Amino acid sequence: MFASGGSAWSTGLWQTRAMTGTFVEPQPTPLALLLLGHGADSGSERGVECPGDLPAPSDPDLVARAARARAALGSRVYILGHHYQRDEVIQFADVTGDSFKLSQMAAANPEAEFIVFCGVHFMAESADILTADEQRVILPDLAAGCSMADMAEIGQVEQCWRDLEAAGVADVTVPITYMNSSAAIKAFTGRHGGSICTSSNAERSLEWAFDDDWQTSEKKVLFLPDQHLGRNTAVRDLGMALDDCVVYDPRKPNGGLTVEQLQTARMILWRGHCSVHGRFTPSCVDEVRERVPGVTVIVHPECTYEVVEKADVVGSTEKIIATIAAAEPGTSWAVGTELNLVKRLALQHPDKEIVYLDKTVCFCSTMNRIDLPHLVWSLESLVEGTVVNQITVDSDTQHWARVALDRMLALPGPTASRD
């Protein structure tokens, strides 16, 4: 199964048992991927068709071509790879990381002329915002969007703010926006005194918004666009009650909430979610505990509250990687995050048993859009002097989004529970 918006195909049951050496590769059918949001809304964070004259995926020379182009570009190019990328792409990354680490690395490499971002559109936008004007950010496939980011459009967010103004609470509301959002919504966040967060620092961002004590603070938070990360952090890390949170549905008048609900809530959660992490259910946890005796369940905080409550460990992709690396040989782990990362962890740790949390496999379809043909095409184009698929953010949006991103980067390091 590939998930992210409407794109899906079935691959059958997948499970890696690195310890026993059984490793069944998923067999995707040749069905075409549906492009996320294609033609639906040009203003929001979503991909469009990729116009490139791509090499054939069957070209046996693809790895050598990518290596040649990479070598020819030398220090002019810096390749960032998110942990959910395919191995065929990750092998060419100068650095791999979660969205927090990659945003820091993009900002820390002012000498590279080209940043090739192997990730999704909102990450490339953030890199463009954080890098110098003369640096050019390239997304090898423009169709690599994010269905969660697509769940919040700037017009809807502005309407939400008007609803908060009408309820008399906008002046005490701090927007905290997950990295997985369009540059326009990051800019909205900057203009309204808020900060960006990632899954590595969501707790610290909320503490900042509530002036370090939500119980004495008069503030409330509008958390965009992932309701699960917002709820998990507020309830599990800050100690709020579930009733302190309400969900604002952008498709309903006043978000489907009464004025009183907006006035009493401490966390106003945007109705958005990740289509990959949203697939895990509490019964996945029960079933894996039956299937794999003694297993430790580790999940990403984009999973639902019910799943996170049943898990043993919760953390960002960086935390999942570090926890499994530090675990004792012979231990068993069920991992609730994107499948490319789980497969890689299983291969990297043959002394541990690593299984996917769900019985049905699920890649992030848009992360998977970045493949070797797209990487080869974008690198060879750069060698020939043509910049393809450049991601640019206009200067006003960039200014205010940078204000919100800088607030995040200025927070003390990732909090222990999420790093």
Binding site for ligand 13P (CB under 6 A): 98-100, 180, 198-199, 274, 302, 316-317
Closer residue to ligand SF4 (CB): 164 or 269:
269
Q: What is the DSSP string of 334-358?
A: EEES-HHHHHHHHHH-TTSEEEESS
Closest CA to 245 of 147, 116, 255, 334: 255
338 binds ligand SF4 (CB under 6 A): yes
User: Minimum distance from CB of 97 to ligand 13P (Å)?
Assistant: 8
Closer residue to ligand 13P (CB): 99 or 332:
99
CA–CA gap between residue 264 and residue 329 (Å, rounded): 49
Among 35, 73, 80, 120, which residue sits at the site for ligand SF4 (rule: CB under 6 A)? 120
CA–CA gap between residue 57 and residue 373 (Å, rounded): 6
CA distances from 35 to 8, 88, 365 (A): 11, 22, 10
378 binds, among ligand 13P, ligand SF4, none (CB under 5 to 8 A by kind): none
Q: Please count the CA atoms within 13 angstroms of the CA of 124 that sit on its side-chain side.
A: 29
Tell me the per-residue interface mask from 141 to 180 with ligand SF4, x by CB under 6 A, - otherwise: -----xxx-------------------------------x
276 binds ligand SF4 (CB under 6 A): yes
Among 275, 340, 368, 398, which residue sits at the site for ligand SF4 (rule: CB under 6 A)? 275
CA–CA gap between residue 382 and residue 116 (Å, rounded): 10
Closest CA to 102 of 314, 300, 85, 142: 85
The footprint of ligand SF4 on residues 353-382 (CB under 6 A) is 364, 366-367
Closest CA to 240 of 197, 275, 209: 209
189 binds, among ligand SF4, ligand 13P, none (CB under 5 to 8 A by kind): none
CA–CA gap between residue 270 and residue 222 (Å, rounded): 7
Closer residue to ligand SF4 (CB): 174 or 367:
367
User: Minimum distance from CB of 259 to ligand SF4 (Å)?
Assistant: 32
CA–CA gap between residue 220 and residue 218 (Å, rounded): 7
User: Minimum distance from CB of 104 to ligand 13P (Å)?
Assistant: 12
214 binds, among ligand 13P, ligand SF4, none (CB under 5 to 8 A by kind): none
Start-to-end Cα distance in the chain: 28
Query: For binding to ligand SF4 (CB under 6 A), which residues are involved?
Result: 4, 84, 120, 146-148, 180, 274-276, 338, 364, 366-367
